[in-house]
Amino acid sequence: MHLMYFTEQPMSAYPTEQSDRFGYSALLFPNAFFDSAAASRLYNERLEEYQLVDEVGFDGIMLNEHHNAPFCMQAKCNIFASILAATTKRVKLVLLGNPLPIAENPVRLAEELAMIDLISKGRLVSGFVRGGGVESIAANVNPAFNRARFEEAHDLIIKTWTTPGPWRWEGEQYQFRVVNPWVLPLQKPHPRVWIPGISSRETIVWAARRRYPYIALNLPVQEAMTVWRTYDQAAAVVGYRSGPEQRGYLIRCHVAETEEKAMRNAREFMWMQGELIGLQHPVWAAPSGYLGTWARRGLAEIRAGYRTGLGSRTFEEMVASLSIIAGTPKQVVEKLRVILEETQPSILALWANDGRISHQDSQTCIRLLGSEVLPALREIGQRLDLRSPFELNTPVSLAASPPPPPPSPFPNRSRGW
């Protein structure tokens, strides 16, 4: 198995009564409430925690980014990945991920990621995301082009990594006269690409067609099983049989010395009323054109008040349904055993810190996970034959071998430009 640690890096040091007063904590929530001194402290505490994650035996650190909201302090996951590339020794740096549709220069993003891979000595896993609706609005990118920009930016990055330059790119979303970066990844043909998501059918099928592992983000077990069925069907269409190595699962999980303390800290997962991406208007989360036709009915029902979001579920309901797992190491292992047996992912990400969980309690959680939970999970994974993509050395994509270099676009180089 591949076992990762994750936190949204919450900017918890803000007056929550203000977001309750406004009715939202994303996009238009005033940054006058940003506390720079507290933010500096929190950034450095997270770095200390990531160092501990590297030491206690996790296989990877999962990083992400969001914008214009305090629920996630990472405005650019590549910055933290760059720091960790130099300061950690063994963990994979799993970026889940860079929001491609808001990237104005995918070639430059390919260079940044290549630098991280080089500095970390080949420990980068470069995940890509479409980003939330808030990201498109905040970056002034038309959400109707979100998927088109995502797919074209991905293709451009992969070609940048695998096809010797110089060459020219003339796409519908991006145009470059010269693509010829001097910085290329250490891993060949390119770093592994993993795709996280909730349940977008188009993204699941897109990932399956490229043999990219799909990381289900905190879904109920039955919804995760629906994701795997969709993935398996799409994989069969392009000629391979998918397995656990293409399945990833993120679950909120906090461990403490006692069940009482673990439950008290786990209630911090309910900050901002339990909404995973902050309090926001549905139009911001999914502006017109952002999602496919499959999502229209559900969105209409939510906006009309016929359905509710995650925040309508109580903490007790989430614990009972295993959407939040908390307790002593032994209790947590037994609950995670159920998740693993039913969903069988080879990639498991433990979301262990959120809200106002203290630095000290986060470190205790990491130590207990490393010393008591991870070894037990590896035993369960071995029994279920849940081997990681690295252990199986699976292809990084269905088109793993780079194509031959194209003819030079500059036949008269000696004569200059």
Q: Which domain holds residue 125?
A: 2-398
Residue linked to tokens 């925690």: 49
In a domain, 68, yes or no: yes
Phi then psi for residue 326, to 5 deg, are: -150, 150
Distance from C-alpha of 298 to C-alpha of 287, rounded to nearest angstrom:
14
In a domain, 415, yes or no: no
Number of structural domains (the chain) is 1
SS3 199: coil
End-to-end CA distance of the chain: 52
Distance from C-alpha of 341 to C-alpha of 332, rounded to nearest angstrom:
14
Distance from C-alpha of 1 to C-alpha of 344, rounded to nearest angstrom:
10
- pLDDT > 90? residue 157: yes
pLDDT score recorded for residue 393: 85
Instruction: Provide the percentage of residues in the chain whose pLDDT is more than 70.
Output: 89
Distance from C-alpha of 87 to C-alpha of 100, rounded to nearest angstrom:
26
Quick one: 232 exposed, middle or buried, by C-beta within 10 A (0-12, 13-18, 19+)? middle
In a domain, 386, yes or no: yes
Instruction: Quickly count: other Cβ atoms within 10 Å of residue 55's Cβ.
Output: 15
Cβ contacts of 270 within 8 Å, gap of 6 or more: 315, 318, 355
Q: Confidence band (pLDDT; 50, 70, 90) for 297?
A: low
pLDDT score recorded for residue 302: 52
pTM exceeds cut of 0.95: no
The pair of three-digit structure tokens given for residue 8, joined into one six-digit string: 């949204």
* Averaged pLDDT for residues 351-362: 95
Residue type, 289: G
In a domain, 406, yes or no: no
In a domain, 331, yes or no: yes
pLDDT score recorded for residue 170: 97
In a domain, 412, yes or no: no
The pair of three-digit structure tokens given for residue 288, joined into one six-digit string: 């017109």
Is residue 119 left, alpha or beta, with left meaning phi > 0 and alpha meaning psi from -120 to 50?
A: alpha
In a domain, 381, yes or no: yes
SS3 226: helix
Q: What is the dihedral of CA 198, 325, 267, 311, to 10 degrees?
A: 30
CATH number at residue 285: 3.20.20.30
In a domain, 126, yes or no: yes
Q: Give residue-wise pLDDT tens across range 231-290.
A: 999 999 999 999 999 999 999 999 999 999 999 999 999 887 767 677 787 778 778 777
Q: Give residue-wise pLDDT tens across range 39-98.
A: 999 999 999 999 999 999 999 999 999 988 888 889 999 999 999 999 999 999 999 999
